Amino acid sequence: MGVVVWEGVLEAEGFILDLVIEGVPAPTAGDPESVFPKALREAWRAVELEVPLDDGLDTRRAWRAHDPESDLELTIVWTTAPTAGDDDAEPAEPSSPDAPAPPEESDEPPSFDLGIPPSFDPNDGEDVTSSAREASAADAPAPDAPAPGSELEAAKQPEARPEASTSGTGTGGLLFGHRPRTNARREDLLRVFELGLRLAERLGKRILDPVLGETFEPEDWAYRITEPFRARGFIATHWVRAEVSGGEDWLHTHGMERFGLPDLETFFKPDEEEDGDTVVAYLLELAESWVRDDAPAATAKARRLEGVKVKVLDPVAARAKQTTWTESDLADHDGPRLSILPVLPSWREALDAWRPANIQLRAPGLVDRLCALTGDILPLVRERFAGGADVKLKARFPVRNAPPPVEEADVHHDEAAYESMWIHVDAWDDAAIRGRLANDPERRLDLTCGSSVEVRSSEVWDVLVVQDGEPYRGVKLRRWLRTA
């Protein structure tokens, strides 16, 4: 499914569009159950908002909701899908490095700063670098990677997911937006992504990332929020090549707005020795550091950022220095952004000795998130166990005399008070899961491989099921549970 144009509305100033649950039928009059189930409305303390009517034909529904695990506030809007005449075609494939791309680009990805987001197609008229897609592919889990489940509160599983339709009478989407907060940039976005996943799984629908322009199955979306955090997995980098000989190429990002930060841009003249991919990698490195810390203020004074001497300029000043692009070419990109220019004559010289860092931050509360996301598939796993399937579960066991919690900057603090081990399941009832340890502990020296143990389902964060000699784990398990 291609990039979809969404004409939605969020009436709260400063809310940014984070995701769209696609193919959601219109709610029946007075009853939002098919769009926003009561169990989640109550858990999220959702309050329906008044939506202004447009010629009496507006069918939108909007709610202000609250994350049950933090003080994060988000807005959820159901709105109709674009009609057949809207720009909902498949995005063009990135052109080859030697092929010129037209300089025109569409509107910015939508935000709700002004209430109504414009139509957009992030890939329209641009040669989009493969960085975002490569990052997604690089971060994709191996077949035997840990498998997050679905929402802990969702008691029932959807039946086999129907093909999502994003056009036609009565079909629309659920837009999720939040107001970014400086002290919780990545945590808030990941929580919105998780809440969107929970509702999408309840409805049996796919999720669109409007920045990347990609639609995900819920099980694939789950991995995005449990893999080591990389800001580059949540932003898109666009490389617009100059059509004129000797002109400057234009690199810029989309999506930093979701972190409450300005996007980045730069201009450069590529030559045979200069690899634009290195410039892309450097911009992404800056984006990572800004999400961790903060964006610098614009100033003409040179400074070192990630080991490279650059100037951080207001985009108006930087754009005035280049001669390839006109004001009308860049007019659609007037949102918050900073221009990064090398102090040396070219990016090739500035980045000659630069190498990207290999910093990966664990998703906040990773094991807690995995336990919560796995909880909802356990009833279905229990059914397979009762039917004769062999089941192994990975659960966390508390470690006595564990060190006190460390600073959040320590990405390994999830493991401080627990040790995770596999269990061969022998019995399963409402009170506990009982079985035998499948490996020797490293920290729980009171246990050995084969020891009888019992755990609560809330401590389980990975599952392996073998039925008729076929193993199921990760994405394969979730799809099998959903369709079998």
Is 59 in contact with 26 (CB distance < 8 Å)? yes
Instruction: Please classify residue 323 by burial: count the beta carbons closer than 10 Å to its beta carbon, then call 0-12 exposed, 13-18 middle and 19+ buried.
Output: exposed
Contact between 107 and 118 under an 8 Å Cβ cutoff? The reply is: yes
Residue carrying structure tokens 């000699």 = 469
What distance in Å separates the CA atoms of residue 230 and residue 288, rounded to the nearest whole number? 7
Contact 259, 231 (CB under 8 A): yes
Tell me, what's the pLDDT at 371?
81
**pLDDT score at 364:** 54
The reported pTM is 0.64
* Per-residue confidence (pLDDT) for residue 170, from 0 to 100: 64
Q: Evaluate whether 286 touches 306 at the Cβ level (below 8 Å).
A: yes
Query: Would you write out the chain's pLDDT as a tens digit for each of its 484 residues?
Result: 333 334 334 434 457 889 999 999 888 766 788 899 999 999 999 999 877 655 444 567 889 999 998 899 999 988 887 654 444 443 333 333 443 343 344 333 333 222 333 332 333 334 433 333 333 333 444 444 443 333 333 333 333 333 333 333 468 889 999 999 988 898 999 999 999 999 998 898 999 999 988 898 887 888 788 777 888 889 999 988 888 888 888 999 999 999 999 999 999 887 644 568 888 889 999 999 999 889 999 988 999 999 899 999 998 888 888 888 888 888 777 778 999 999 998 888 898 888 877 555 555 566 777 787 788 889 999 999 999 999 999 998 888 764 444 443 343 444 457 888 889 999 999 999 999 998 888 778 888 888 999 999 989 988 989 888 888 887 788 878 877 6
Give the type of residue at 446.
D
Distance CA(211)–CA(91), nearest Å, equals 13
* CA dist list (Å): 248 to 154, 291, 308, 316, 374: 52, 28, 21, 16, 49
Residue 3 is predicted with a pLDDT of 38
Rounded to whole angstroms, how far apart are CA atoms 52 and 50? 6
Q: How far is CA 244 from CA 100, 102, 173, in A?
A: 9, 11, 41
**DSSP E strand boundaries for 72-128:** 73-80, 111-112, 127-128
Predicted pLDDT of residue 344: 92
Angle at 145 (CA atoms; ends 140, 146), nearest 5 degrees: 115
Cβ within 8 Å of residue 452, ≥6 positions away: 434, 435, 436
Q: How far is CA 343 from the centre of its chain?
A: 34
